[in-house]
């Protein structure tokens, strides 16, 4: 019986899973080269800086007890550090230089969000203030109140392990543009790399992610008769205004 070699086929490039992820909840800002974010980014807070309040209509302007002229301190700038994400692929020396470069770019396209959210989870846990813990429903009530006071659509960061309970109880619903929303209309970010959050939920203001263009670097190992390519870019995720962490009991 004749034996034939296996047919060589290339799998179809898959799309990145984007439902309810960090990238789906954030504003992605792709910078043109040279991006110059190696030194980090200072976010001047314009959406939650300054003062506000109410005043009695019989209060003459300029009086000492007029709260409108009692200037407080502005919210300080928030600083964030950039980091690099990379992926690589390799093959034999026979073939096209573009083949492994395209594969490395595809690999980075699929894994980038997981790598970024894994690093961002550590940032959130390190910098967030501590809120009261409790059952998921009680914690979510506190989160809705906190984010509601900002006057903006915030982001609720959580491990994907909390997703089934949230959907079952109607606390996670499909919103516009494929985003997952809370009952109050805030955006869930069930980061694919958020396992480190465990049972914690972190509520933040709006999230913006800055990215440099993807660069590819070829490499050749003649001793092993192999050629490869590395795809990489710099990424810097940020948030504004608030960051409060809540521990969900039983998660």
Query: What local confidence, expressed as pLDDT, does residue 73 receive?
Result: 60
The sign of the CA dihedral 205, 71, 69, 46 is negative
Closest CA to 43 of 1, 79, 13: 79
pLDDT at residue 38 in the model: 82
pLDDT attached to residue 126: 94
Question: What is the C-alpha to C-alpha distance for residues 96 and 155, in angstroms, rounded to an integer?
Answer: 43
The pLDDT assigned to 71 comes to: 60
Q: Note the helical H segments in the chain.
A: 22-25, 97-127, 136-150, 163-168
Query: What pLDDT score was predicted for residue 116?
Result: 96
State both tokens at 54: 């109410």
* Cβ 82 vs Cβ 42: under 8 Å: no
pTM of the entire predicted model: 0.84
- Taking the chain (251 residues) in runs of 10, the rounded mean pLDDT of each run is 67 72 92 82 75 66 62 72 89 62 89 95 95 93 95 95 94 88 96 93 96 87 75 94 90 57
Which pLDDT score is estimated for 34?
80
Cα–Cα distances in angstroms (integers) from residue 215 to residues 72, 88, 98, 224, in the given order: 46, 11, 13, 25
Helix then strand then coil, in percent of the chain rounded to 5, is 25, 30, 45
């Amino acid at each position: 019986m004749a034996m034939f070699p296996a047919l060589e086929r290339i799998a179809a490039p898959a799309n990145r899973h984007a439902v309810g992820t960090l990238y789906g909840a954030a504003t992605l800002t792709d910078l043109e080269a040279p991006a110059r974010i190696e030194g980090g980014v200072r976010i001047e807070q314009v959406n939650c800086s300054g003062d506000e309040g109410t005043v009695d209509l019989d209060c003459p302007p300029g009086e000492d007890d007029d709260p409108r002229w009692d200037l407080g301190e502005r919210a300080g700038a928030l600083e964030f550090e950039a980091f690099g994400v990379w992926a690589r692929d390799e093959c034999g020396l026979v073939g096209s230089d573009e083949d492994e470069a395209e594969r490395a770019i595809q690999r980075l396209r699929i894994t980038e969000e997981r790598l970024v959210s894994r690093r961002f989870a550590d940032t959130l846990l390190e910098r967030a203030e501590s809120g009261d813990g409790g059952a998921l429903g009680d914690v979510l009530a506190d989160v809705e109140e906190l984010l509601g006071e900002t006057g903006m659509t915030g982001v609720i960061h959580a491990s994907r392990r909390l997703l089934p309970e949230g959907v079952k109880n109607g606390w996670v619903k499909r919103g516009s543009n494929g985003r997952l929303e809370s009952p109050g209309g805030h955006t869930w970010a069930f980061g694919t790399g958020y396992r480190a959050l465990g049972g914690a939920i972190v509520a933040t203001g709006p999230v913006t992610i800055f990215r440099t263009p993807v660069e590819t670097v070829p490499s050749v190992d003649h001793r092993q008769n192999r050629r490869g390519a590395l795809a990489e870019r710099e990424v810097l995720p940020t948030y504004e205004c608030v960051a409060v962490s809540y521990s969900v009991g039983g998660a």
